[in-house]
Chain A
Amino acid sequence: DVKVTQSSRYLVKRTGEKVFLECVQDMDHENMFWYRQDPGLGLRLIYFSYDVKMKEKGDIPEGYSVSREKKERFSLILESASTNQTSMYLCASSFAAGLFYEQYFGPGTRLTVT
């Protein structure tokens, strides 16, 4: 079974803190993604990476950065956390299953910024 793990299920941070969210996948997938999920807005893509050290901005990259030094690990960094970054953060990896891609998600990190 594909496994995507995230470093924390719940996290509480203060405004201005630097926050690291880590994600690890064990299936040698090329592509990895960070989303945030807010009620009524669905999943919005923050950043994705299609190879080690390669990254591209998604739809809402402001206030975030990412790091992918190893294929299996993709980190999301909040340089200076703000209250509007309180959200559920989902990591995913994907691979091409024939003609289309399939995504596999981690359990999510619920981040609260106070």
Chain B
Amino acid sequence: TQLLEQSPQFLSIQEGENLTVYCNSSSVFSSLQWYRQEPGEGPVLLVTVVTGGEVKKLKRLTFQFGDARKDSSLHITAAQPGDTGLYLCADPLTDSWGKFQFGAGTQVVVTP
């Protein structure tokens, strides 16, 4: 099972600033998912990236999948307090009945 490393562990920014969080692995991902977990709630799926070099946009969130499919980034433009949460990347394990390997997450705090 490959280990997913997320960085940074914690990020605190002011409203309106941009931020980027990263997810890396020593092995190639078949695909990668990003989740956001708001305080007191379970994680919610944001996006699945599949193809190396892929870029997906979800309003102010931009997800990139590295060409070699070993890394991914999530960029938030003009962050808002509602973006506060724990951002998790997850690797759907192959031949595993839908099991996932999760990273430890990046805690993002956006202050007004």
Contact = CB atoms under 8 A, between A and B. Distances in A.
Nearest to B103: A42
Interface in A70-114: 90, 92, 94-96, 99-108
Interface in B3-46: 9, 30-31, 33, 40-45
Nearest to A50: B97
Nearest to A6: B42
Contacts of B66: none
Q: Is the interface of B mostly helix, strand, loop or mixed?
A: loop
Q: Is the interface of A mostly helix, strand, loop or mixed?
A: strand
Contacts of B50: 99-100
B86 to A, nearest CB: 9
Contacts of A30: 98
Contacts, number: 63
Interface of A: 4, 9, 30-31, 33, 35, 40-43, 45, 48, 50, 56, 58, 90, 92, 94-96, 99-108
A40 B42 contact: no
Contact of B92 (A100, A107, A108): A100
A102 B45 contact: yes
B99 interface: yes
A42 B31 contact: no
A105 B43 contact: yes
A42 B102 contact: yes
Given A43-B88, A96-B98, A103 B103 contact: no
B99 A48 contact: yes
A107 B42 contact: yes
- Of B41, B99, B105, chain A has the most CB atoms within 10 Å of the CB of B99
B54 to A, nearest CB: 13
28 contacts: A4-B42, A9-B40, A30-B98, A31-B98, A33-B99, A35-B102, A40-B9, A40-B104, A42-B88, A42-B102, A42-B103, A42-B105, A43-B43, A45-B100, A48-B99, A50-B97, A90-B42, A94-B98, A96-B98, A100-B31, A100-B33, A102-B45, A102-B48, A103-B100, A104-B45, A106-B42, A107-B42, A108-B42
